[in-house]
Structure 1
Amino acid sequence: MKSIQFTHSYNKLGSAFYSGDKPKSVSNPQLFIFNQELQKELNLHGTVLNFEDGMPYFSGNKLIENSSPLAMAYSGHQFGGFSPQLGDGRAILLGSLFDSSNFEYDLQLKGSGRTSYSRGGDGRSALGPVLREYIVSEAMAKLGVPTTRALAAVTTGDMVAREGMIPGGIITRTSRSFVRVGTFQYFSSRNDLASIKKLADYVIARNFPEIDNDKSKYRSFLREVIKRQAYLISKWMGLGFIHGVMNTDNMSICGETIDYGPCAFMDEFNFNKKFSFIDENGRYAYSNQPHIALWNLTRFAESILSLLSNDQKNAIKIAEDELNVFPELYEKYWLEEMRKKLGFEVSTLQNKEEKKIIDELLNIMAESKADFTQTFYSLSNLKNSQSNGDDTLVRFFTNSKKIENWLADWRLSINKSEYDEDSRIASMKQVNPVVIPRNHQVEKVIRAAEDNNDFEPFFELNTILQSPYKFDQNKVKYMLAPKDSEVVQRTFCGT
């Protein structure tokens, strides 16, 4: 078998950036899923990382040849309070490698045992969070959202103590970089300016090479991080996705969705919807996500002030100027996303009439508690003129007159467009999914696996979500909103 060509670029930053921890062995690992598509993308075919041979490596019982495991150091604001010492308490970075497009990716085990940063934790993961992250991260990738990816998942044969004794699991995941806002905060809180510069140079060269030669590259760096986060949050909002734990240590510098913990997708639309059990005050509720992203980005800007200018007042001015662009930038990306969802031409982004139509629909949806995903998917199927098909949308609304009036305004707008009806419908179906990982379906998968060692529901749901924008009869039951008895009110981190 061919060896894996790890680069170990993060190791080269020096021991201040990590602890040289190794994964801890488990008693009876079983590899239950392996992502062959991702294996191919990462140029791992022909290596030991395959379904037949990979189990010892995905469980941490055996180290991959040429790997150099470590746990990354970072800090973070958690629900607004700063924790100066966090780090990978249950994750091990094995190394980085290049994919078929020559992009560098990190390879990491999560749930692989205690590290130097575990504090009082056991370093393990229950099986449920492993299943949730695998399902949702892979669904997000297929939905077109920047995200970490899942390569494999194993059961460990060991129980972990949470609200009770639960089967353990380990997920192998990849990312363009596991560096977080909290990684910069770690060195900023220690006034380690040399390490801040070293880290910034590393991230720029790896993830933002197009700005590496800019005269003001650190300002450009801040600008690009802000830009990627604005885009990412707009994608979340366009799908009704709620991350649930947007701490600064859970914000990826390269602009990927990371650390899925208590994440969830909305069923009934509610601007203030939250799921996370520990988010008592709704800090990370749906409508707060853009504001929290800006708050986190402000913490990032604070941590790199020394790079922006030798004069602190000037550095603060530069940071403020860049951060002040975020609201407008986010609005631009969000409007672009919503315009696509409603079938408007993206070329006329400044159309205030269409912005009003978007806002009115969301308000009517909130008033009726209309299902987020089904509303937009049903809208995708409507004709340019009124028809009996309108009932497929109207049925989600308690006030039929309001939605019918809204449809009339919507049709007036789309009929001004150069889009023909078929092109408009086809375009809408590319951004309005048929299926999402609905919370009650994910919960059923977790219950079947944890309680009965039954992984068939997991395999079926994962397969269904591989083509979220394509309708077929096998998807019908996964399209449905939960019954009252199936509604998931709260989600948990599982740490």
Structure 2
Amino acid sequence: MTIPTPLLQPARFAALPAVFYRATAPTSLHSPRLVIANAALAHELELDEAQLGAPDNLALFCGNALPAHGLPLATRYGGHQFGVWAGQLGDGRALLLGDRACPNGQSVEVQLKGAGVTPFSRMGDGRAVLRSSIREYLASEAMQALGIPTTRALLLATSDDAVYRERPETAAVLTRVAPSFIRFGHFELLYHQGQHDEIRQLADFVIDQYLPACREASQPYQALFAEVVARTASLMAQWQAVGFCHGVMNSDNMSILGLTLDYGPFGFLDGLNLAHICNHSDHSGRYAYNQQPQIALWNLYCLASSFLPLVTEPELRAELDRYDGLYQAAYLARFRAKLGLVTECKEDAALISSLLHTLHAYHTDFTLFFRALAEFDTAAGSDSASVLDLLVDREAGLHWLARYRTRLMQETRTQKARQQAMHAVNPAYVLRNHLAEQAIRLACDEGDYGEIARLARCLANPFSEQAEFASYAALPPEWAAALAVSCSS
């Protein structure tokens, strides 16, 4: 069935040669039903949220109908997975429906995840399961509210169709939105297959569509690579500052625009473990929390190889050598803000490191500690119970707080201004695993989607105390420690 729709335009990506994609028909879901629609994003895209779940639109957004301009696209890319070149991968369960024009004159890509087999499914069924789709819907919007670059979620649909993983599960289709879903792996595959002209075409496309300032540089392709390095370094600092662990930082899961892409086995830290591994399948800890910044650099080296037909090796190395400095500057800026510091002191790095190792020693809750720290009173002899109560080793806590008090004395802001600033960057709410799990169990076991909507409403305002969601800001229950998230979705 083909329906006329004013919602979408042909994808800009389709202007590239056919080597970059395959036109692919989606696989229908039987009797689809709406799980949740994103009112805020719909408003940003000038869509009527109430109409997203209407039969014709729901059919479009779950793969049961085609956009008026024709077949969706499955894009072609490769990647390094767990440090090993995996060859051609591609959109195994994602289809690019088209573009949506935004009020600001820009356009975004609209993509279905879980809409069936594509030419790149590699023996898979092309489906997504409701469990992981709920996690991605909630996480991407939570990251957006935290101010971290990310893909977005517009709509989640499901049906009674069965999908088989370790056990039968419920099928789902997630409608995702982003300026672009182009990955490092799009460039990598072209390089490994000797398609150097196509690398240039893709680089030109990225510059012209998304980063036009690079065209004004004396060496546009070097400027493009430099921009990717800078955006990636900034993204890693933002992840570290909120305790976000991606779980599968393969190069095919890295966005060329510096977006958080592909929410598989991700997680937010509860008790701080600097070596926390959120992916049950990551047996070596390659993508542990404290490894993420250097893994991002490793992936940038992979991307740099793909730019060799466009940029000289010394020029690429010069940009790669800037990564550590860019990351450290962004990291320190983020953590200074978390500590309520405006000025810069050379001792700040040591102060931050000392704090994190103190929290790590006893797995102090990452989110709760930084939120409580805003209430710290700089007056000598003041009651620091709200902070100390979160620390097992009170003596170590008192020692660090004494250093922190001394450092705060170098600031000029009032205590009230500092507290307000800290509350604006230290969230009260993050998508903890047990919160997502509670919503998933209700949805999958009872067909109750209310908790998804309630949790999404809370996470949309992560920095504001909300009495109705007080339980979401509490320490996780003991059973949460046994939750395991893997690549199976």
Matching of residue 243 in structure 1 with residue 246 in structure 2: yes
TM-score normalised per structure 1: 0.95
Matching of residue 323 in structure 1 with residue 317 in structure 2: no
Residue identity opposite 1:317 in structure 2: P
Provide the rounded CA distance (Å) in 1 between the counterparts of 2:152 and 2:426.
Answer: 22
Comparing 97-106 with 285-294, greater Cα deviation is found at 97-106
Provide the rounded CA distance (Å) in 2 between the counterparts of 1:47 and 1:477.
Answer: 30
Q: Kindly provide the CA deviation profile for residues 218-238 of structure 1, in whole angstroms up to 9, marking residues without a partner as x.
A: 111110000000000100000
Residue identity opposite 1:455 in structure 2: Y
Cα 1:417/1:177, change in 2 over 3 Å:
same
CA positional deviation for 1:50? 5.3
Aligned with residue 114 of structure 1, among 100, 107, 117: 117
RMSD (Å) for aligned C-alpha atoms: 1.6
Aligned residue in 2 for 1:342? 339
CA positional deviation for 1:45? 3.8
CA positional deviation for 1:87? 0.3
CA positional deviation for 1:413? 1.2
Provide the rounded CA distance (Å) in 1 between the counterparts of 2:469 and 2:393.
Answer: 28
Cα 1:455/1:50, change in 2 over 3 Å:
closer
Aligned residue in 2 for 1:57? 60
Provide the rounded CA distance (Å) in 1 between the counterparts of 2:58 and 2:10.
Answer: 23
CA positional deviation for 1:393? 1.1
Matching of residue 404 in structure 1 with residue 398 in structure 2: yes
Provide the rounded CA distance (Å) in 2 between the counterparts of 1:80 and 1:19.
Answer: 27
Provide the rounded CA distance (Å) in 2 between the counterparts of 1:51 and 1:330.
Answer: 45
Q: Kindly provide the CA deviation profile for residues 64-92 of structure 1, in whole angstroms up to 9, marking residues without a partner as x.
A: 32354110000000001111110000010
Aligned residue in 1 for 2:155? 152
Provide the rounded CA distance (Å) in 1 between the counterparts of 2:70 and 2:50.
Answer: 13
- In the TM superposition, 1:135-214 aligns within 5 A as 135-214=138-217
Aligned with residue 105 of structure 2, among 102, 105, 111: 102
Aligned residue in 1 for 2:86? 83
Task: Answer whether contact 1:440 1:488 (CA < 8 A) is retained.
Answer: no
Q: Kindly provide the CA deviation profile for residues 452-483 of structure 1, in whole angstroms up to 9, marking residues without a partner as x.
A: 21212212111111100000212211111222
Residue identity opposite 2:146 in structure 1: L
Provide the rounded CA distance (Å) in 1 between the counterparts of 2:56 and 2:470.
Answer: 36
Aligned with residue 453 of structure 1, among 447, 459, 467: 447
Provide the rounded CA distance (Å) in 2 between the counterparts of 1:464 and 1:23.
Answer: 33
TM-score normalised per structure 2: 0.96
Aligned residue in 2 for 1:311? none
Matching of residue 484 in structure 1 with residue 484 in structure 2: no
Task: Answer whether contact 2:42 2:49 (CA < 8 A) is retained.
Answer: no
Q: Kindly provide the CA deviation profile for residues 375-400 of structure 1, in whole angstroms up to 9, marking residues without a partner as x.
A: 00000122222566511111111110
Provide the rounded CA distance (Å) in 1 between the counterparts of 2:381 and 2:304.
Answer: 52
Provide the rounded CA distance (Å) in 2 between the counterparts of 1:388 and 1:155.
Answer: 54
Aligned with residue 462 of structure 2, among 465, 468, 471: 468
Task: Answer whether contact 1:31 1:51 (CA < 8 A) is retained.
Answer: no
Cα 1:422/1:280, change in 2 over 3 Å:
same
Provide the rounded CA distance (Å) in 2 between the counterparts of 1:468 and 1:197.
Answer: 41
Aligned residue in 1 for 2:430? 436
Residue identity opposite 1:451 in structure 2: D
Provide the rounded CA distance (Å) in 1 between the counterparts of 2:277 and 2:393.
Answer: 25
Provide the rounded CA distance (Å) in 1 between the counterparts of 2:474 and 2:71.
Answer: 46
Provide the rounded CA distance (Å) in 1 between the counterparts of 2:454 and 2:277.
Answer: 27
Identity %: 36
Q: Kindly provide the CA deviation profile for residues 302-352 of structure 1, in whole angstroms up to 9, marking residues without a partner as x.
A: 0011101xxxxxx1111111101101110000000000000000xx33x12
Provide the rounded CA distance (Å) in 2 between the counterparts of 1:360 and 1:324.
Answer: 27
Provide the rounded CA distance (Å) in 1 between the counterparts of 2:338 and 2:387.
Answer: 14
Provide the rounded CA distance (Å) in 1 between the counterparts of 2:71 and 2:64.
Answer: 15
Aligned residue in 1 for 2:276? 273
Task: Answer whether contact 2:5 2:68 (CA < 8 A) is retained.
Answer: no
CA positional deviation for 1:201? 0.4
Provide the rounded CA distance (Å) in 2 between the counterparts of 1:69 and 1:409.
Answer: 58
- Aligned with 2:110: secondary structure? strand
Residue identity opposite 1:122 in structure 2: D
Task: Answer whether contact 1:265 1:438 (CA < 8 A) is retained.
Answer: yes
Cα 1:49/1:14, change in 2 over 3 Å:
farther
Task: Answer whether contact 2:181 2:255 (CA < 8 A) is retained.
Answer: yes
Cα 1:408/1:159, change in 2 over 3 Å:
same
Q: Kindly provide the CA deviation profile for residues 406-433 of structure 1, in whole angstroms up to 9, marking residues without a partner as x.
A: 1121111112211111111111111100
Aligned residue in 2 for 1:416? 410
The size of the alignment, in residue pairs, is: 486
Residue identity opposite 1:339 in structure 2: R
Residue identity opposite 2:398 in structure 1: E
Task: Answer whether contact 1:267 1:373 (CA < 8 A) is retained.
Answer: yes
Task: Answer whether contact 2:433 2:483 (CA < 8 A) is retained.
Answer: no
